[in-house]
């Protein structure tokens, strides 16, 4: 199976240089393995997975602001610093 791993890496926001030849060939062989499912017949099933929904209310679930700030890779005056995306 021909896989364009550079395209996939770009979609996944991983630099394409990171995808070694070994990774490329293993991805191809795994896809070849799971590909047998593509030919398998499947009956139509109703989704029985359980999902519990609740009203979208603000609940009493407090985070520590200090700990959140501590995890910011870069901060200034309590704000998260990110690269500029809008040019003047």
Q: Is 74 in the site for another protein (CB under 8 A)?
A: yes
Contact pattern for another protein over residues 15 through 54, marking x by CB under 8 A: x-xxxx-xx--xx-xxx-xx-xxx-x-xxxxxxxxxxxxx
Residue 87 within binding range of another protein, rule CB under 8 A = no
How many amino acids of this chain bind another protein (CB under 8 A)?
56
**60: contact with another protein by CB under 8 A:** no
Strands (E), 3-77: 75-76
Exposure string (b/e) for 3-28, b if CB count within 10 Å is 16 or more? Answer: eebeeebeeeeeeeeebeeeeeeeee
Q: How far is the CB of 32 from another protein (least distance, A)?
A: 9
Per-residue burial over 43-72, b = 16 or more CB atoms within 10 Å of its CB, e = otherwise: eeeeeeeeeeeeeeeeeeeeeeeeeeeeee
Chain residues that interact with another protein, rule: CB under 8 A: 3, 5, 8-15, 17-20, 22-23, 26-27, 29-31, 33-34, 36-38, 40, 42-54, 59, 61, 63-64, 67-68, 70-74, 80, 82-85
């Amino acid at each position: 199976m021909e896989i364009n791993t550079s395209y996939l890496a770009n979609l996944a926001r991983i630099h394409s240089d990171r995808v070694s030849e070994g990774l490329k060939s293993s991805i191809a062989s795994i896809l070849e393995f799971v590909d047998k499912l593509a030919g398998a017949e499947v009956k139509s099933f109703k989704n029985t997975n359980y999902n519990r929904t609740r009203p979208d209310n603000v609940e009493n679930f407090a985070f520590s602001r200090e700990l959140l700030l501590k995890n910011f890779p870069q901060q200034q005056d309590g704000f998260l610093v990110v690269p500029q995306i809008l040019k003047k």
